[in-house]
Chain A
Amino acid sequence: MGSAQGGRVRLTQSHSGRDTVPVQTEKMRHLYVVIDCSRSMEDQDLKPNRLTSTLKLMEAFVDEYFDQNPISQVGIITTKNKRAEKLTDLAGNPKKHITALMKAVDTVCVGEPSLYNSLNLAIQTLKHMPGHTSREILIILSSLTTCDPANIYELIKTLKSLKVRVSVIGLSAEVRVCTVLTRETGGSYHVILDESHFKELLMLHIKPPPASSSSECSLIRMGFPQHTIASVTDQDAKPSFSMSHLDSSSGPGLSLGGYFCPQCHATYTELPVECKVCGLTLVSAPHLARSFHHLFPLQAFIESPVENLQGDRFCQACQAELKDKSVFSCPSCHSVFCVECDLFIHESLHCCPCCIYRQTAP
């Protein structure tokens, strides 16, 4: 039961401050992750070395990020040898990033990182992003030095004026310039203790940040394409090239079905995507629905000792006998759940199984 208790403690820490009024969070996020590839990344304090460990955690991060923020985008920048270069552009498809991350394991770590160059490179794209989206940069810095061609404090002022939020995860020790950078732009700065702490800190950035009052609210025009499945025997089925091949190195794929952009009828095989021909953002309704649980978060259940319970001692979700010391009850429908179901409901389900029956009023 040790792990369940540990998980329960972790959850209460994230629950504290959770109130019934939903906090507005950023939905469309543009996040650049800067990965330090300098010589210090070959250090073996994280197994097998810092670079491999970071890249592996980044793959899990990318997957989970698109799960929680389906209409957001991520880009990856690497920095070494006093230069910065883009590993992947800002995109909404996790597969591209994961392939690039897997290939990056072979890069040679050499030289010193450059904070200025990587921030500059990220700003070039982020400053063109519309005002209602969030602009974020996450830097994973392992070196204690940085080689900048110009005054970084000027760049920090530019970042602040562009409303870019920069956060840093340090792998070695606290560096003053990072403290100033994150404090001025409103981000967070943490230094890792060990590998599991590293994972925890990375996962903190997956949850959408609360929307700042300065972010603009606007109506975004989006398309909801239908998925057509056609077979060769259909009379009107016309094969078409998928536009997503323009990015990938593999050759153009001819397909019969797919998603057709409602504005220009370009074909795509996967959603969400931004149409390359007409610029319309294409999503499907379930993608938007994935973000709903951030809008309407589930209330924390009330813990109470099991002795106070009258009647049958069964968890109303999984039908297990209640043998733990404490049980959890939902504040709205007063149903009783065991500790495992409480964790599962708050982490994965995001809805109380019994409250649904009380929502009968239209």
Chain B
Amino acid sequence: MMRNNVLFDETLPKSRPEDEINLLVIVVDVNPIWWGQQAQRDPQFTLSKCMDAVMVMGNAHMAMARTNKLAVIASHCQGSHFLYPSKSWSGGDGGGNDASSSGDGKYELLSAANNLIAEEIRNIMSKIEVTGNSTDTLLAGSLAKALCYIHRLTKELEVGQEIKSRILVVKAAEDCALQYMNFMNVIFAAQKQNILIDACVLDSDSGLLQQACDITGGLYLKIPQKVALAQYLLWVFLPDSEQRSQLVLPPPAHVDYRAACFCHRNLIEIGYVCSVCLSIFCNFSPICTTCETAFKIQLPQIVKPKKKKLKQPM
């Protein structure tokens, strides 16, 4: 009689380490207006220093394991552009023989990546034309492209390979309120695919990114000193989600999930929600301003006094 016929040993790891691909997508905010002002405020920390720190982070990630992959996207007010891997690069081991060999014996992949990133960012910054009304960085578009790229890589996996992805956002300029809905759509799509969104904020706090990190389970950090960007990136954002449970990391930020009313944009704790279009108002009004439906007003019920039947004298 067979006892405990174990079909497979549960103690073995489910997949070999070579089969698990760790993908990191870095989205860098290269808003030319903010960086221009920053260069005047503090000449020690400019866009090139920031890109240096990002390259160090990218190299470190790729050096952690042979199967780690990297992608870098630059996000600005008019679009987002993939810095690495670039369309013009053939990719793989055979590309860029002449450009990639650096004199100091660095691993070719890393130096090829650095050169590519530097060249692409120079191209972008020289081609940007800033028009008057669009000055905010629209991160939602870059995050959407990052998700599409991750989705494509997930589909291109071979049998037996698994992929774990995360997105790191390096944010400089302020939030743009117009992209709230697109941002929320992107956050929910990332949460469904189990993709973490981490945020490294250089200047002003961003409510949208705080919500993104809270919902997807990533880390949010506002850096106290911009010049030490590389240090913060390596210490806080380099470990992946499994390793983070063993580390003491900055505590989660207090996220303000209160809604903003549509009439005054104040944050409210109790509000009225239209059942048709889900717009939020702070005061009761008979007509919804967004979808223009008239609401049924609940009137208190009038209780008619009961007429007492007089007993007929017998």
Assess whether A188 is interfacial by the CB under 8 Å rule.
Answer: no
Looking at chain B's contact residues, the main secondary structure is mixed
Interface string of A329-362 (1 = CB under 8 A from B): 0000000000011001100111111101101111
Assess whether B111 is interfacial by the CB under 8 Å rule.
Answer: no
In the complex, the chain B residue whose C-beta lies closest to that of A343 is B151
Assess whether B16 is interfacial by the CB under 8 Å rule.
Answer: no
Decide if A227 touches B295 in the complex (CB within 8 Å).
no
Binds B, one of A135-143, A171-179, A194-202, A314-322: A314-322
Binds A, one of B100-108, B163-171, B233-241, B277-285: B277-285
Question: Would you list which residues of chain B between 163 and 196 have a CB under 8 Å from chain A?
Answer: 178-182, 184-189, 192-193
Assess whether A293 is interfacial by the CB under 8 Å rule.
Answer: yes
Question: Would you list which residues of chain B between 260 and 302 have a CB under 8 Å from chain A?
Answer: 260, 268-278, 280-281, 284-285, 288, 291, 293-296, 298
Decide if B182 touches A27 in the complex (CB within 8 Å).
no
Decide if A341 touches B148 in the complex (CB within 8 Å).
yes
Interface string of A27-53 (1 = CB under 8 A from B): 110000000000000000000000000
Assess whether A290 is interfacial by the CB under 8 Å rule.
Answer: yes
Question: Would you list which residues of chain B between 133 and 164 have a CB under 8 Å from chain A?
Answer: 133-134, 138, 140-141, 144-145, 147-149, 151-152, 155
CB distance from A203 to the nearest CB of B (A): 15
Q: Which of the residues A132, A224, A284, A361 comes within 8 Å of B271, measured between beta carbons? A: A224
CB distance from B169 to the nearest CB of A (A): 15
Assess whether B306 is interfacial by the CB under 8 Å rule.
Answer: no
Complex Cα spacing A27 to B277, Å:
8
Question: Would you list which residues of chain A between 270 and 304 have a CB under 8 Å from chain B?
Answer: 280, 284-286, 288-293, 295-296
In the complex, the chain B residue whose C-beta lies closest to that of A296 is B181
Decide if B178 touches A220 in the complex (CB within 8 Å).
no
Instruction: Give the residues in chain A near B276, CB-CB below 8 Å.
Output: 24, 27, 211, 217
Complex Cα spacing A272 to B268, Å:
17
Interface string of A227-238 (1 = CB under 8 A from B): 111000000000
Assess whether A246 is interfacial by the CB under 8 Å rule.
Answer: no
Question: Would you list which residues of chain B between 33 and 85 have a CB under 8 Å from chain A?
Answer: 78-80, 82, 85
Decide if A356 touches B151 in the complex (CB within 8 Å).
no
Assess whether A216 is interfacial by the CB under 8 Å rule.
Answer: yes
Complex Cα spacing A24 to B278, Å:
11
Instruction: Give the residues in chain B near A353, CB-CB below 8 Å.
Output: 80, 141, 144-145, 148
Q: Which of the residues B152, B179, B271, B293 comes within 8 Å of A320, measured between beta carbons? A: B152
Complex Cα spacing A351 to B133, Å:
22
Binds A, one of B1-9, B120-128, B219-227, B250-258: B250-258
The verdict on A319 contacting B269 (CB below 8 Å), with A219-B274, A227-B255, A286-B215 known, is no
Complex Cα spacing A352 to B14, Å:
37
Complex Cα spacing A243 to B182, Å:
34
Instruction: Give the residues in chain A near B78, CB-CB below 8 Å.
Output: 357
Assess whether B249 is interfacial by the CB under 8 Å rule.
Answer: no
Complex Cα spacing A218 to B294, Å:
8
Instruction: Give the residues in chain B near A352, CB-CB below 8 Å.
Output: 144
Question: Would you list which residues of chain A between 186 and 217 have a CB under 8 Å from chain B?
Answer: 211, 216-217
Assess whether A222 is interfacial by the CB under 8 Å rule.
Answer: yes
Question: Would you list which residues of chain A between 244 and 270 have a CB under 8 Å from chain B?
Answer: 262-263
Decide if A132 touches B178 in the complex (CB within 8 Å).
no
Which range contains the number of A residues in contact with the other chain?
35 or more
Decide if B296 touches A217 in the complex (CB within 8 Å).
yes
Assess whether B259 is interfacial by the CB under 8 Å rule.
Answer: yes
Compute the total of residue contacts between A and B using a CB distance below 8 Å: 181
Instruction: Give the residues in chain A near B259, CB-CB below 8 Å.
Output: 224, 284-285, 288
Complex Cα spacing A357 to B273, Å:
29
Instruction: Give the residues in chain B near A320, CB-CB below 8 Å.
Output: 152
Assess whether B211 is interfacial by the CB under 8 Å rule.
Answer: yes
Decide if B278 touches A27 in the complex (CB within 8 Å).
yes
The verdict on A351 contacting B215 (CB below 8 Å), with A224-B258, A289-B184, A290-B188 known, is no
Decide if B181 touches A217 in the complex (CB within 8 Å).
no
Assess whether A312 is interfacial by the CB under 8 Å rule.
Answer: yes
Assess whether B87 is interfacial by the CB under 8 Å rule.
Answer: yes
The verdict on A348 contacting B275 (CB below 8 Å), with A286-B257, A293-B185 known, is no
CB distance from B175 to the nearest CB of A (A): 14
Instruction: Give the residues in chain A near B181, CB-CB below 8 Å.
Output: 289, 292, 296, 351
Q: Which of the residues A24, A218, A224, A356 comes within 8 Å of B268, measured between beta carbons? A: A224
The verdict on A217 contacting B257 (CB below 8 Å), with A289-B184, A344-B148, A360-B178 known, is no
Assess whether A131 is interfacial by the CB under 8 Å rule.
Answer: yes
The verdict on A219 contacting B133 (CB below 8 Å), with A284-B257, A318-B148 known, is no
Decide if B178 touches A362 in the complex (CB within 8 Å).
yes
Best-surrounded residue of B82, B141, B215, B251 (most CB of chain A within 10 A): B141
CB distance from B146 to the nearest CB of A (A): 9
Decide if B295 touches A348 in the complex (CB within 8 Å).
no
Q: Which of the residues A221, A262, A285, A349 comes within 8 Å of B186, measured between beta carbons? A: A349
Decide if B295 touches A356 in the complex (CB within 8 Å).
no
The verdict on A349 contacting B296 (CB below 8 Å), with A340-B155, A360-B178 known, is no
Q: Which of the residues B82, B151, B257 comes within 8 Å of A285, measured between beta carbons? A: B257
Instruction: Give the residues in chain B near A357, CB-CB below 8 Å.
Output: 78-79, 134, 138, 141
CB distance from B208 to the nearest CB of A (A): 11
The verdict on A291 contacting B257 (CB below 8 Å), with A224-B269, A262-B269, A318-B148 known, is no
Q: List 23 interface pairs A-B (beta carbons < 8 Å), by A numbering.
A: A27-B276, A216-B275, A216-B296, A217-B296, A220-B273, A225-B269, A227-B255, A229-B252, A285-B258, A286-B257, A288-B278, A289-B184, A292-B181, A318-B148, A318-B151, A319-B152, A340-B151, A341-B152, A348-B189, A348-B192, A349-B186, A350-B185, A357-B138
Q: A223-B269, A224-B271, A360-B133 are in contact. List 10 more A-B contacts (CB 8 A).
A: A27-B278, A217-B274, A226-B256, A227-B254, A286-B187, A295-B277, A317-B145, A340-B152, A344-B151, A361-B133
- Nearest 4 pairs between A and B by C-beta? A317-B148, A353-B144, A318-B152, A262-B269
